[in-house]
């Protein structure tokens, strides 16, 4: 049988738990031999890694690392310029959208005028529908495929 909190021991050891869970885990480790042994193993492993000698880096590898670092710094400058250009493009897009909205609002007045200009006037009982007949004759006169029919 194993303890169900052994997975949290690593987070406890690394200091990744919130304060309330840290206090609860500390109390649990004092009471649970399995978790206490795991914590001891983690401490020993960390000490072993810390006491290991560092390997020497060959001069050729160090020079190659420095060369790559200079390339990366150059790439960062390009990325910085690209981010500024992206921001400028976004600003232009927003400005164009706002100007387009104003132009659409101004065109709304024009479309209202155009609609009023091509609408038939209200029927006047005294004309007997002559205006509508004349308008239809004029419209058919503008169509290229049909011959105009005179009003009746």
pLDDT tens, 56-98?
Answer: 878 888 888 877 777 776 667 777 788 888 988 888 888 888 8
pLDDT tens, 45-59?
Answer: 888 888 888 778 788
CA 77 to CA 29: how far, in whole Å?
A: 50
Instruction: Kindly state the average pLDDT of the residues 117-127.
Output: 61
pLDDT at 31: 92
Q: Residues near 13 by Cβ (< 8 Å), separated by ≥ 6?
A: 39, 42, 43
Architecture of domain 1-53: Orthogonal Bundle (1.10)
Would you say residue 150 has pLDDT above 90? Answer: no
């Amino acid at each position: 049988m194993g303890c169900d909190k052994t997975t949290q021991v690593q987070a406890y050891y690394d200091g990744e738990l919130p304060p309330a869970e840290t206090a609860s885990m500390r109390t649990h480790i004092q009471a649970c031999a399995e978790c206490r042994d795991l914590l001891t193993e983690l401490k020993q492993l960390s000490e072993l890694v810390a006491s290991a000698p560092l390997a020497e880096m060959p001069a050729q590898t160090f020079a190659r690392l420095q060369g790559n670092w200079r390339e990366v710094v150059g790439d960062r400058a390009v990325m910085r310029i690209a981010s500024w250009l992206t921001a400028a493009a976004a600003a232009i897009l927003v400005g164009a959208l706002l100007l387009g909205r104003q132009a659409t609002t101004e065109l709304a007045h024009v479309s209202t005028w155009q609609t009023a200009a091509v609408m038939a006037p209200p029927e006047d009982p005294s004309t007997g529908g002559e205006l509508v007949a004349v308008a239809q004759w004029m419209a058919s006169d503008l169509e290229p495929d049909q011959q105009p029919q005179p009003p009746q």
